[in-house]
Amino acid sequence: MTQGLYEIIKNDALTSTVYKMVIKGDTSAITAPGQFVNLKLEGKFLRRPISICDYDDTSITLVYKVVGEGTEQMAEMKAGEVIDVLVGLGNGYSLDKCGEKPLFIGGGVGIPPLYNLCKKLIKAGKTCTVILGFNNADEIFLEDDFKALGANVIVTTVDGSYGTKGFVTDAMKDINYTYFFTCGPMPMFKAIESTAVTSGQYSFEERMGCGFGACMGCSCKTKYGNKRICKDGPVLEREEIIW
């Protein structure tokens, strides 16, 4: 974990509620895709944990949804502003168990942390299939980005206004995969848990205090003992999760 001041390079709307912020600075503390950063916002006491969508040697891309006062404030920030960030938090996804045909399942704002993971596994020569679940066509983001990586992308919408009508699990049934990675809302996780035919990794969300393992604010019970979502997670393996 490192703390630093990061300059906002851009902060653009991708949909009416989802934004893409790129910040510039040291990324050496990031050790795996699926990790997150914790942002200090003016006038807010606690930091805001936001998953890392993508990163390179000098920049971090955050794709976030406006859901409350903190993210509203983030959406107002402009290029050139400087933000205090803790970088390299959480365990992230582990890449070594996924076989040749990993499946990525993202629901809504759970999609971003899968992006850099998919990028890395495509680079490693894997055949990647990505299911992106939304409520409707207006909510869609990152579809073209995943396609540009070379992934086979399937979009599902609950109302059928784009792609496959239904839930991500409706699309899962027809796919041949060796492993899965997912991030999204709890109802989606439960549906995946009853549909998935392989091992996999789930990335969880929880209300956090510190984000780096000190306060025990985000603890959960697993088959391997108590874990902190912020430090021992947010990614848990399918085999250890107690539903």
Residues within the interface to another protein (CB under 8 A): 1-3, 40, 44-47, 86, 206-210, 212-221, 226, 231
Nearer residue to another protein within complex by CB, 109 or 208: 208
Q: Minimum Å distance from CB 213 to another protein?
A: 5
Q: Minimum Å distance from CB 198 to another protein?
A: 28
Nearer residue to another protein within complex by CB, 128 or 235: 235
**28, burial (CB in 10 Å: exposed 0-12, middle 13-18, buried 19+):** exposed
Nearer residue to another protein within complex by CB, 46 or 95: 46
Strands (E) across the chain are located at 2-13, 18-24, 36-40, 48-51, 54-55, 59-65, 82-89, 102-107, 129-134, 152-157, 164-165, 179-183, 200-203, 219-222, 225-228, 235-237
**Residue in this structure with the two tokens 């609950």, named with its chain if needed:** 158
Q: Minimum Å distance from CB 229 to another protein?
A: 8
> 162 is written with which tokens?
């784009």
Q: Is residue 30 within 8 Å of residue 52, measured between CB atoms?
A: yes
Nearer residue to another protein within complex by CB, 70 or 102: 70
- What is d(CA 138, CA 162) in angstroms, rounded to the nearest whole number? 9
Q: Minimum Å distance from CB 65 to another protein?
A: 15
Q: Minimum Å distance from CB 67 to another protein?
A: 10
Nearer residue to another protein within complex by CB, 13 or 216: 216
- What is d(CA 73, CA 69) in angstroms, rounded to the nearest whole number? 6
Q: Minimum Å distance from CB 37 to another protein?
A: 13
Nearer residue to another protein within complex by CB, 35 or 169: 35
Alpha helices in the chain (DSSP H): 69-76, 112-123, 143-149, 168-172, 186-195
